Amino acid sequence: MRGLRACVLGLALVLCCASVAGAEGFALNEWSARGVSLAGGMVGRADDPSALAYNAAGITQLPGTQAMGGFAFIAPSGSIKADMQDGSDHTTYTKPAVWTAPHAYLTQQLNERVWLGLAAFSRFGLGNSFSGNWDGRYNVYDVGVQTFSFVPTLAVKLNDVFSVSAGVEAMYAHMYLGNKIPTVTSTGQRYDNDMQLEGTGWGMGAQFGLHMRLNDQWSVGLSYKSQVTMRLDGDVEFGHHDQNMLIKMGQHLPRAEDCSANTTLQLPDSAALGIAYKPLENLSFEVGAVWTRWSTYNALNIYMDNGYGSVNNKEWRDGWNFNASVEYRPLDWWALRAGFAYETPVLNEDHADYIMPVNGRQMLSLGTGFAWNNWTLDLAYAHFWINSTDYDRTDANGIRNQLTGIRGGHSENVSANVYMVSLAYAF
């Protein structure tokens, strides 16, 4: 019971502090410091409490009661180079920011066959911010999507080789979006109006895992996380609003009045495979792959009660993450880790926008861990090299039109640094 109370308190703390972090697509895998330092190579290993996020079937390797909690601190950077219709080009840098992604886990062994787990972590998130008067302001100048999943899990050890798990996922989502809207008054005056949208919602899903401990050297893990459909409801506020102010949308002129809004966010399912090899008691390797069905993310359409709406085609493609990692323990209390991951592009550049100026990435990670008595402290650092996105043919709203003066362009020097810490205790 002491472990349960500690985990509940930890969940409350991390939920209060939760913020937004970006990744390829906008899926996250910053679920523990050890997991990040191993580039996600925890599907086959699955031998600490963060297995609840990577492959929950592996918690049958954990005796008694164990808990873990921590944070990732993510610092992205980059710029957009806009090619203008007059032949010039303008470069705009994203605002400096550090986003956090928290995690907390609790595992409980009930008997020789059955384990329970409770996980809280973020599966999806993004954050991006520009100056309010930059060239792409009609598309976006501030955006954030944050999800937080609570997953109670049951794991069963079928025999000495096979373990399985099943969990029910309750996902909370919060989204905000800021952009400028061309507005005209009844007297014909035109200016940029500010529009802020914010909404929240809940969705349900499921997670399943399989872990096979073939012998003392080889283990294999499989995990699946289902789609989650989120209905987000919220409000839209304009910087200037009254019945004499109209949103300039060609022949359609809805009024710039505060109102309610809604959107449906289709979050994709994913499947992961990990193969771990442990030639020595203090040395292990893992290779793995994660498939994410981003083709389900075909649009992000926002509907408002004032008659104004935003239709945004996406039509992304499915994505793959390929990873490899090594862990070495030179001393019983000290571990060294490294990993590398390659992620394929998922963005459709025919509909590319400034919300997600990324198009595939590579990651190199390093980490260390310290153990004393029942405590374990893990630290990790990862650097992401993110491919540029081209805007020369996009049809996304507010980019290539007469109002912006933009005829194309691309993102430049996009990267991210991740710093992560996890603290675990075995009761």
Identify whether the C-beta of residue 130 lies closer than 8 Å to the C-beta of residue 354.
yes
Non-local CB neighbours of 209 within 8 Å, separated by 6+ positions? 46, 55, 56, 57, 58, 155, 163, 164, 165, 166, 221, 222, 223, 224
**Phi, psi of 88, rounded to the nearest 5 degrees:** -85, 175
DSSP run (H or E) holding 2: helix 2-17
Amino acid at 342: Y
> Both tokens of residue 373?
């008595």
Residues 380-392: tens digit of each pLDDT: 999 999 999 999 9
- Residue 21 is predicted with a pLDDT of 39
Q: In angstroms, rounded to a whole number, what is the distance separating the alpha carbons of residues 394 and 401?
A: 11
Q: In angstroms, rounded to a whole number, what is the distance separating the alpha carbons of residues 318 and 298?
A: 11
- Residue 18 is predicted with a pLDDT of 35
Where b means 16+ CB within 10 Å and e means fewer, 367-382 reads bbbebeeeebebbbbb
- Residue 182 is predicted with a pLDDT of 82
Identify whether the C-beta of residue 39 lies closer than 8 Å to the C-beta of residue 73.
no
Looking at residue 268, what DSSP letter applies?
P
- Residue 19 is predicted with a pLDDT of 36
- Residue 8 is predicted with a pLDDT of 34
* Domains in the chain with CATH codes: 20-426 (2.40.160.60)
- Residue 96 is predicted with a pLDDT of 84
Q: Note the pTM of the prediction, 2 decimals.
A: 0.89
Task: Give Cα 290 to chain centroid, integer Å.
Answer: 14
What residues in the chain have per-residue pLDDT under 70?
A: 1-24, 242-253
Identify whether the C-beta of residue 76 lies closer than 8 Å to the C-beta of residue 19.
no
- Residue 382 is predicted with a pLDDT of 97
- Residue 357 is predicted with a pLDDT of 78
Non-local CB neighbours of 299 within 8 Å, separated by 6+ positions? 311, 312, 313, 314, 315
- Residue 247 is predicted with a pLDDT of 66
Identify the CA nearest to 163 among candidates 48, 284, 56, 65. Answer: 56
Q: In angstroms, rounded to a whole number, what is the distance separating the alpha carbons of residues 218 and 277?
A: 5
Output the DSSP codes for 298-338: -B--EEETTS-EE--B-----EEEEEEEEEEEEETTEEEEE
Identify the CA nearest to 231 among candidates 268, 270, 267. Answer: 267
- Residue 187 is predicted with a pLDDT of 72
- If DSSP codes are grouped into helix, strand and coil, which group holds residue 87? coil
